[in-house]
Amino acid sequence: MLTTYKVEIKPTAYQVWLLNRHIGGSRWAYNLFLEMNKRRYEDGYHYMGAYEFSKWFNHEYLAANPEDDWIKELYAKSTKQAFIDADKAMKRFFKHLSRYPHFRSWKREQGSYYFVKNGKRQIIQAERHRIKLPKLGWVRLKEYGYVPTDAKHFLIKQGRIKRHAGRYYLTCLVEQADDVKPELTGPGIGIDLGIKSFSVLSNGLIYKNQNKSNRVKKMRKRLRRLQRKFSRQYLAFKARKQKEGKSATDLNLAKTRRRMQRSYQRLQNIQRDYQNKIIARVVITKPRWVALEDLNVKGMLKNRYLAKAISHQGFYNFRVRLITKCQQLGIPVHLTNRFEPTSKLCHHCGTKKADLKLSDRIYRCAVCGQVSDRDMNAALNIRDTENFKLAY
Ligand SMILES: [Zn+2]
């Protein structure tokens, strides 16, 4: 089984310099691939795949363009991988699977340093706190003991280092034995996602909507202000550039962009952490199944009164993470049909209450007299309904 590990690294100043060169180099190589193939297409030549391109690049292009020789100082596999990535993107385009690939951009922090296990005997060495990579040497990790060090059972095959909001993250692909799937003995769990609470579980656990906490609210406010500042600075920068030619620097603009990215990143990290904790609490009970409403998020976003609140919840990410985790552990995930009236049915007797309003927080059944929390009632219905499809 292949598993991905992701961890932040603590590069030295020299390693940062090297990494930036490699990341920049891979961007350059990717863009060169797109550019050259576009020109070839316009001149009526055939499309060059990654392998052919790489050969042409090393033998003909570099001989004809000695000013690009700096690329030879980089780890060759990393450059070559950029060609492979670009080739993949083009082939996806040819098959109408995606749009015409964009150039890799510095502003969007694209490009990556790529490494791979070469040949059968070589192993990529890792220790509790560091990993040894080509050209970089030993790179310190921020999380100790997470990346597997036992090369006999956990083989690091390849990986990348990418930059995100000014930080460097290592991902590596590891070949390892399949996880032993736990025996599922716990009762099924239904999960109702919402705005008031982030999620209500049929076993009684209620998770607050974090976006209502002061901490997150403050951070969102800060982000909004930075975004406004950025757009103001951007307009001023453009106006200046027109007047004075290229003299004006965009250093301040870059600073604001960085602060904006970091602030956004922090919000994302908080959300991911929160969602992972909920998922961990769900799967630790070893439920026989997990049921989730197949939410029509796109449709819900059309409601402009709720759109912002819903998009901040990150339901889609939650669902993807939950399904991935359950799949690893072999827990079936039921996706309740979108049109199943899970909030309107009484869980106790099954009567449908057609006039239930969105503002009714307490469900009162007129037939059997059952009184329960609206979301809890929905979570129980989601758990027990037969009207579902399996997520995987
Ligand atoms: Zn009832």
Report CA(115)–ligand 1 centroid distance (Å).
61
Collect contacts of 206-215 with beta carbons under 8 A, ≥24 apart: 206/375, 207/274, 207/278, 209/313, 210/270, 210/271, 210/274, 211/309, 211/312, 211/313
| Neighbour-count burial of 303, counting CB atoms closer than 10 A to its CB (0-12 exposed, 13-18 middle, 19+ buried) | exposed
Per DSSP bridges, beta strands 189-193 and 137-141 are: unpaired
Cα distance between residue 219 and residue 260, in whole Å: 11
Confidence at residue 249, expressed as pLDDT on a 0 to 100 scale: 60
Confidence at residue 141, expressed as pLDDT on a 0 to 100 scale: 97
User: Residue 119: which region, alpha, beta or left (left: phi > 0; alpha: psi -120 to 50)?
Assistant: left
Cα distance between residue 1 and residue 148, in whole Å: 14
Report CA(343)–ligand 1 centroid distance (Å).
12
Report CA(342)–ligand 1 centroid distance (Å).
13
State the pLDDT confidence band at 116, using cuts at 50, 70 and 90: very high
Report the first-to-last Cα separation within the chain, whole angstroms: 17
Confidence at residue 246, expressed as pLDDT on a 0 to 100 scale: 59
Report CA(194)–ligand 1 centroid distance (Å).
23
In 245-369, which ranges are continuous DSSP H helix?
Answer: 251-283, 297-301, 307-313, 315-329
Cα distance between residue 292 and residue 296, in whole Å: 12
- Which of 95-109, 126-140, 246-260 has the weakest average pLDDT? 246-260
Report CA(292)–ligand 1 centroid distance (Å).
22
Instruction: Pull the structure tokens for residue 3.
Output: 């598993």
Is there a contact between 351 and 339 (Cβ–Cβ < 8 Å)?
no
Task: Express each pLDDT in 14-57 by its tens digit.
Answer: 999 999 999 999 999 999 999 999 999 999 999 999 999 999 99
Confidence at residue 6, expressed as pLDDT on a 0 to 100 scale: 94
Indicate whether 65 pLDDT > 90.
yes
Confidence at residue 180, expressed as pLDDT on a 0 to 100 scale: 79
Confidence at residue 340, expressed as pLDDT on a 0 to 100 scale: 84
For 194, list phi and psi in degrees, rounded to 5: -160, -175
Report CA(352)–ligand 1 centroid distance (Å).
8
Report CA(202)–ligand 1 centroid distance (Å).
17
Confidence at residue 338, expressed as pLDDT on a 0 to 100 scale: 83
Report CA(307)–ligand 1 centroid distance (Å).
32
Cα distance between residue 242 and residue 233, in whole Å: 14
Cα distance between residue 331 and residue 349, in whole Å: 28
Question: What is the residue-averaged pLDDT of the chain?
Answer: 91
Highest mean pLDDT among 21-30, 245-254, 310-319, 383-392: 21-30
Report CA(278)–ligand 1 centroid distance (Å).
30
Per DSSP bridges, beta strands 290-293 and 333-336 are: parallel
With H, G, I as helix, E, B as strand and everything else as coil, classify residue 26. Answer: helix
Bigger pLDDT: 313 vs 299: 313
Percent of the chain with pLDDT over 90: 68
Indicate whether 197 pLDDT > 80.
yes
235 alpha-carbon distance from chain centroid: 31
With H, G, I as helix, E, B as strand and everything else as coil, classify residue 368. Answer: coil
Report CA(195)–ligand 1 centroid distance (Å).
25
Report CA(366)–ligand 1 centroid distance (Å).
7
Report CA(347)–ligand 1 centroid distance (Å).
7
Instruction: Pull the structure tokens for residue 307.
Output: 């759109």
* Residue among 253, 225, 226 at smallest CA distance from 237: 253
Confidence at residue 236, expressed as pLDDT on a 0 to 100 scale: 85
Report CA(345)–ligand 1 centroid distance (Å).
8
Report CA(50)–ligand 1 centroid distance (Å).
64
Report CA(367)–ligand 1 centroid distance (Å).
5
Other residues' Cβ atoms within 10 Å of the Cβ of residue 147: 23
Confidence at residue 132, expressed as pLDDT on a 0 to 100 scale: 95
pLDDT average, residue stretch 110-131? 91
Task: Express each pLDDT in 254-304 by its tens digit.
Answer: 889 889 999 999 999 999 999 999 999 999 999 999 999 887 777 777 788
Which DSSP state fits 352?
B
In 175-250, which ranges are continuous DSSP H helix?
Answer: 214-244
Is there a contact between 114 and 133 (Cβ–Cβ < 8 Å)?
no
Report CA(193)–ligand 1 centroid distance (Å).
22
How many residues does the structure list for the chain? Answer: 392
Report CA(374)–ligand 1 centroid distance (Å).
13
Report CA(350)–ligand 1 centroid distance (Å).
6
Is there a contact between 259 and 166 (Cβ–Cβ < 8 Å)?
no
In 107-211, which ranges are continuous DSSP H helix?
Answer: none
Report CA(204)–ligand 1 centroid distance (Å).
19
Report CA(364)–ligand 1 centroid distance (Å).
8
Task: Express each pLDDT in 231-262 by its tens digit.
Answer: 998 888 888 877 776 555 678 888 898 899 99
Instruction: Pull the structure tokens for residue 243.
Output: 């007047």
Report CA(388)–ligand 1 centroid distance (Å).
22
Cα distance between residue 28 and residue 33, in whole Å: 9
pLDDT average, residue stretch 147-160? 90
Is there a contact between 159 and 113 (Cβ–Cβ < 8 Å)?
no
Bigger pLDDT: 143 vs 340: 143
Report CA(363)–ligand 1 centroid distance (Å).
9
Report CA(189)–ligand 1 centroid distance (Å).
21
- Residue 131's beta-bridge partner residues? 126, 139
* Residue among 64, 73, 32, 70 at smallest CA distance from 50: 32
Q: Where are the domains of the chain?
A: 2-176, 189-208+283-390, 211-277
State the pLDDT confidence band at 76, using cuts at 50, 70 and 90: very high
Indicate whether 152 pLDDT > 70.
yes
Confidence at residue 245, expressed as pLDDT on a 0 to 100 scale: 64
